[in-house]
């Protein structure tokens, strides 16, 4: 499940995917893209994995697509197939039951920036460099950026980020709600580990259903959301996790 361009590390209930091309700021190769998809598809059905972390090897997260790919004489049809694979990766990150946490240090540019945005939590270094560079090289936003940006920061700020293509820091990204939080670089790994461990202790089904419910709410009416909640809460109320938590709570109250 590991390759030269993507490494998989496991610790307890946490699986970490490491983009492993530090010599090019972890630029995405065809191999990395294929391996990322395969890894996500395997993890989604792995009940022993409670949290997925994505990070870059070395000093950077990801500088986007490998520039050498743009210099090849690739037919539009092949690009279309490649972009569809990218779309499958993004959708899988959003649809897998496990929460996905991105550790963002150094650069997160272009597709690398939006790969991060696909996750449930981004913890960035204060001095990380985030940039929707596409417009500056004559391309449109990809990796789901047209979807994520306006939902995270609103249309006005999304236009600024996507149409001007200016670089912002991790600290600024946190201040506008683009990422979960930013911390000094020296605290980044500890912060991500603490968040992942916290999530790993939460009831698995509850987390998976909350993730699904929030994601699908964007395309549902209030009535549809309420109906979905009623159906799925009736399931959650019967789970051993819920019953044990309530039992322990009542037991502790009885001791006082």
Which CATH entry fits the domain spanning 6-200: 1.10.274.10, 3.40.225.10, 3.90.226.10, 2.60.40.4070? 3.90.226.10
Strand partners, 167: 131
* Site of tokens 């030269």: 4
The ranges of the chain annotated as CATH 3.90.226.10 are 6-200
Whether this prediction's pTM lies above 0.85 is answered by yes
188, 105 Cβ separation under 8 angstroms: yes
Strand partners, 17: 8, 54
Rounded-to-integer distance, Cα 151 and Cα 69, Å: 30
Q: Which of 196, 194, 232 is nearest to 213 (CA)?
A: 232
Establish how many alpha carbons lie within 13 A of residue 171's alpha carbon, considering only the half-sphere containing its beta carbon.
5
Rounded-to-integer distance, Cα 128 and Cα 177, Å: 15
CATH of domain 204-255: 1.10.12
In order along its 256 residues, the chain shows pLDDT tens digits of: 455 899 999 999 999 999 999 999 999 998 999 999 999 999 999 999 999 999 999 999 999 988 877 777 778 888 888 889 999 999 999 999 999 999 999 999 999 999 999 999 999 999 999 999 999 999 999 999 999 999 999 999 999 999 999 999 999 999 999 999 999 999 999 999 999 999 999 999 999 999 999 999 989 999 999 999 999 999 999 999 999 999 999 988 875 4
51, 199 Cβ separation under 8 angstroms: yes
């Amino acid at each position: 499940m590991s390759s030269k361009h993507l490494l998989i590390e496991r610790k307890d209930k946490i699986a970490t995917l490491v983009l492993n091309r530090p010599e090019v700021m972890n630029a995405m190769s065809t191999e990395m893209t294929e391996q990322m998809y395969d890894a996500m598809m395997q993890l989604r059905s792995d009940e022993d994995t409670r949290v997925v972390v994505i990070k870059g090897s070395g000093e950077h997260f990801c500088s986007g697509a490998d520039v050498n790919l743009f210099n090849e004489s690739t037919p539009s049809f092949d690009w279309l197939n490649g972009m569809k694979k990218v779309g499958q990766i993004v959708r899988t990150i959003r649809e897998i039951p496990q929460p996905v946490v991105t550790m963002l240090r150094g650069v997160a540019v272009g597709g690398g920036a939006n790969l991060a945005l696909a996750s449930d939590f981004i913890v960035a270094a204060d001095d990380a460099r985030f940039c929707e560079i596409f417009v500056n090289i004559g391309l449109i936003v990809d990796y789901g950026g047209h979807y994520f940006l306006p939902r995270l920061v609103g249309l006005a700020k999304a236009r600024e980020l996507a149409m001007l293509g200016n670089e912002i820091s991790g600290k600024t990204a946190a201040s506008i709600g683009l990422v979960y939080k930013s911390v000094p670089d020296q605290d980044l790994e500890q912060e991500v580990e603490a968040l992942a461990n916290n999530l790993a202790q939460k009831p698995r089904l509850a987390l998976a259903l909350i993730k699904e419910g929030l994601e699908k709410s964007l395309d549902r009416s209030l009535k549809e959301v309420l109906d979905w909640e009623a159906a799925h809460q009736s399931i959650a109320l019967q789970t051993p996790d819920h019953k044990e938590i309530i039992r322990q709570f009542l037991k502790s109250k009885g001791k006082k």
